[in-house]
Copies of this chain bind each other. A is one copy, B any other.
Amino acid sequence: MKRTEPDARGAIAFTESDPRIGELLQRTRRIMDLSLIASLASWDQQTAMPSGASEARMYQMASIRSVIHEQASAPRIGELLYELSSIVAQAPFTDADRGLVRQMQRAYHWETKLPAELVEEVESVRVASVDVWIRARRHSDFASFAPWLERTVVLQREIADRIGYSETRYDALLDAFEPEMTAKRVAELFTPIRDISITMLKRIQASGNTIDTSCLYGTFPLEQQKTLSERLLSTIGYDFQRGQVARSAHPMTCRFGSPVDVRLTLRYNERCLVQALMTALHEGGHALYEQGNAYNIMRTPVVGNMVSIPVIGGASLGAHESQSRLWENALGRSLPFWQGGKFAIIQQSFPEQFKNVDVIDFVRALNKVEPGLIRTEADEVTYNLHIILRFELEKALINGEISVEALPDLWNAKYREYLGIEPANDAEGVLQDIHWPFAYFGYFPTYTLGNLYGAQILHTLYKTFPDFDERLAAGDTNFVLQWLCEHMYAFGGIYRSQDLLKRMTGEAADPQYFVRYLTNKFESIYHLAAQ
């Protein structure tokens, strides 16, 4: 992919000649460098580090984090931010300057508001808690994990109190992942999504129509899946000169300097091809966003947040997820995408398995709807229900409306209510995700926000390119990537996600786009009469 820098002389350029912007940039670039090396050490930990090194690595991470903390909370940064905040709105300052000041203000706020002992306790509780959770899940033993979750909730409440919020404690935590979003606004956006998801699921089940997915199962040697995934990534524009693909138990995208070093990990299932394909497109979407960042904002927090606020980059976690889901679902589970030469790649990779499979049946198989207990395996119709119930539970937990002990029953009740099924045990229920042991409260809603933003952006793409499907079917995805680079990826975190969405689509976030997307797509796939 050729990178696009739409207006490097305009919005994306920093006013380096201003001595305050100059000094702020100089300091933040150094902090960012350290932060990127720390990310590299985390990636190494998950992909290569020998098991015996865990304790030593823990010390190393603590040491580098403490240096980052010292530098990011330096009084001089506070002075520069104070001076700049009153003038940066006007000329000659640019959107990039404003993005820089805003991102550094958030980081400085988090770094200075939280005492070191609290940060250390959160970290050590996290390590222990993940450890206990792994064993608890293995034995489906929520009781052993409960005290650690209790402690995590107490610590997260303390963080919320110190960071500050206007409406509820949960808002402070949510803000770390989706800046300036509130629980109240999320609930408003989610209500129509919850309703359409439940309705669509019932309509599909009532129709009695089924989808045959047998073509996706067989024997797929891992080495060939790897080659196939990498070819697929190449065709959508992932640049291997600025990236690399590794394997890990949990797929992820990691950046050690966007846009020039953006790597991803995949996982493969020998018996089923879906996982590899969809993971490649999902992580590929994240990676395209990062590789699309303008070079000007490299080494600054404008490529995404750093230090104590664990955001992957871009405008927000929701904005990022909108791209992974756009490439995975809106494109990657659509007929024209596979018709455009991609299904042929699969047929070349596994000729025996696919020689007699029709692309239409293949894509239908990718879109089978079936309520399940496992979030990460959910289809597009049921996925958001998994998220919404988690959001409702964690919000109530942080805001003190429910207790940790009550969680398993509430979890099961919500699965019954939304999906009509119930976990047989806590391992496949409340103990399913790492987010809570990891103290990531406020993270879950960004998945569904991503779907919502993604559908709205997709609508704009269809308006902009009336021949969208035809171009996809002709094998072109580059026009999509170019448009997204110019209107979204290049800017990194210069704009807040809500502002960015407005710039891209002309409107504030509106769940009706997702409602319509889901309705149209699954009425067609399941041959349902339009209502």
Q: Which of A253-294 contact B (CB under 8 A)?
A: 256-257, 260-261, 263
Q: Which of A18-68 contact B (CB under 8 A)?
A: 29-30, 33-34, 36-38, 40-41, 44, 48-53, 55-57, 59-60, 62-64, 66-67
Given A34-B64, A50-B263, also A299-B244 (CB < 8 A)? no
Neighbour of A44 across the interface among B44, B52, B242, CB < 8 A: B44
Task: Say yes or no: is A241 at the interface (Cβ < 8 Å to chain B).
Answer: yes
A223 to B49, CA, bound (A): 21
A36 to B49, CA, bound (A): 13
Given A55-B260, A56-B260, A260-B55, also A242-B50 (CB < 8 A)? yes
> How many of chain A's residues have a CB under 8 angstroms from any CB in B?
40
A322, chain B: closest CB distance, angstroms: 25
CB-based contact A67/B37 at 8 Å? no
Task: Say yes or no: is A340 at the interface (Cβ < 8 Å to chain B).
Answer: no
Hey, which bits of chain A sit against chain B, CB under 8 A?
A: 29-30, 33-34, 36-38, 40-41, 44, 48-53, 55-57, 59-60, 62-64, 66-67, 239-244, 246, 256-257, 260-261, 263, 298-299
A508 to B251, CA, bound (A): 56
CB-based contact B299/A59 at 8 Å? yes
A59, chain B: closest CB distance, angstroms: 6
Copies in the complex: 2
A38, chain B: closest CB distance, angstroms: 7
* Neighbouring B residues of A241 by C-beta, 8 Å: 50-52
CB-based contact A60/B33 at 8 Å? yes
CB-based contact A36/B52 at 8 Å? no
A523, chain B: closest CB distance, angstroms: 43
Neighbour of A37 across the interface among B38, B242, B243, CB < 8 A: B38
* Neighbouring B residues of A239 by C-beta, 8 Å: 52
Main DSSP-derived SS at the A contact region? helix
CB<8 Å pairs between A and B, sample of 14: A30-B66, A33-B59, A48-B244, A48-B246, A49-B244, A50-B241, A51-B241, A52-B241, A53-B256, A56-B257, A56-B261, A56-B299, A59-B299, A60-B256
Given A56-B299, A239-B52, A240-B50, also A33-B63 (CB < 8 A)? yes
A228, chain B: closest CB distance, angstroms: 20
A49 to B260, CA, bound (A): 10
CB-based contact A37/B64 at 8 Å? yes
* Neighbouring B residues of A66 by C-beta, 8 Å: 30
List the 7 closest pairs (A to B, CB-CB), nearest first.
A33-B63, A53-B261, A56-B257, A52-B242, A33-B60, A52-B241, A53-B260
